[in-house]
């Protein structure tokens, strides 16, 4: 415990591990990796035909009361995770998300250090938000990596646990990033728009996407499963936008 505390204190005293150039590269690389992997595997899933269009029944993996939620007569819906079921797209899915998970753990630590170094001693709430941000990015990155070991057609329950251990921390992080850097980036703008306003709007869009994903299943809310699919993709894209909001401040907040 003492060693862990000392290590945490040493890390907390640093303002950064990476240069602005290196961090910018990692942010772009992570966004390209996540968006590229999910979009490419989805294209392969939707155009591959064959077994992808056959009925899929995963009811043997859930209690009887949930059977109707996991039977898909026309094949898997367009959820992101559906791209990790069939070859060859599942290979791309597994490699891309593993790399993406590692990158986001590194980016989360770097953003934590840079934010922490600019918070004054009286910034108690901001420091708490910053610590929560670090916890969320670490959980999301770790579970993004672990998700690839539990494809939804073989380990549905563990897959869902990993997935929601990504979704929930990501939604929380979009808000805690905004609140932890609200004063630091108060004067920052991107294309004449206040950066704080952009982050706040993205955070609300991310929350809306999450709620649509959860309640947008036709078997639950009486609307098309497309609502759930749109919600998940919306959550992915909005969270990537929130990460990219760190780009405009690199080299300026010194």
pLDDT value, residue 88: 94
- CA angle (93, 66, 73) in 5-degree steps: 60
End-to-end CA distance of the chain: 34
Q: Is 5 inside any structural domain?
A: no
Per-residue tokens: 165:
């251990």
Per-residue tokens: 116:
């922490």
User: Structural domain tally of the chain?
Assistant: 1
| Residue 57: CB atoms within 10 Å | 11
Q: Is 6 inside any structural domain?
A: no
pLDDT value, residue 196: 97
Q: Is 214 inside any structural domain?
A: yes
**Pure H helices in 148-225:** 156-180, 195-215, 218-221
Query: Residue 238: is its pLDDT beyond 80?
Result: yes
Q: Mean of the pLDDT values across residues 191-212?
A: 96
Q: Is 46 inside any structural domain?
A: yes
Q: Is 220 inside any structural domain?
A: yes
Q: Mean of the pLDDT values across residues 45-71?
A: 89
pTM above 0.85, yes or no: yes
Q: Mean of the pLDDT values across residues 56-65?
A: 89
Q: Is 204 inside any structural domain?
A: yes
Domain that holds residue 207: 17-249
Beta strand ranges found along 122-214 (DSSP E): 189-190, 193-194
Q: Is 118 inside any structural domain?
A: yes
Question: 71 or 55, which is more confident?
Answer: 55
Q: Is 117 inside any structural domain?
A: yes
Read off the pLDDT band of 222 (50, 70, 90). Answer: very low
Phi, psi of 248 (to 5 degrees): -60, -20
């Amino acid at each position: 415990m003492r060693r862990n505390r000392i290590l945490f204190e040493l890390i907390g005293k640093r303002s950064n591990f990476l240069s602005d150039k290196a961090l910018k590269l990692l942010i772009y690389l992570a966004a390209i990796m996540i968006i590229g992997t999910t979009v490419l595997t989805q294209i392969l899933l939707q155009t591959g035909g064959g077994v992808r269009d056959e009925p899929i029944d995963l009811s043997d993996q859930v209690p009887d009361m949930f059977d109707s939620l996991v039977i898909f007569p026309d094949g898997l819906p367009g959820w992101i995770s559906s791209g990790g079921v069939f070859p060859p797209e599942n290979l791309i899915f597994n490699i891309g998300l593993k790399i993406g998970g590692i990158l986001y753990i590194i980016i989360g630590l770097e953003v934590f250090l840079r934010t922490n170094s600019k918070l004054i001693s009286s910034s108690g709430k901001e420091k708490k938000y910053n610590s929560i941000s670090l916890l969320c990015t670490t959980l999301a990155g770790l579970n993004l990596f672990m998700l690839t070991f539990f494809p939804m057609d073989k380990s549905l329950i563990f897959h869902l646990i990993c997935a929601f251990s990504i979704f929930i921390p990501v939604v929380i992080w979009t808000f805690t990033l905004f609140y932890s850097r609200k004063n630091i980036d108060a004067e920052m703008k991107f294309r004449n728009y206040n950066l704080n306003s952009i982050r706040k709007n993205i955070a609300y869009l991310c929350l809306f996407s999450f709620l649509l994903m959860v309640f947008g299943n036709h078997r639950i809310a009486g609307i098309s499963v497309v609502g759930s699919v749109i919600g998940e993709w919306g959550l992915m894209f909005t969270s990537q936008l929130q990460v990219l909001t760190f780009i405009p401040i690199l080299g300026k907040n010194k």
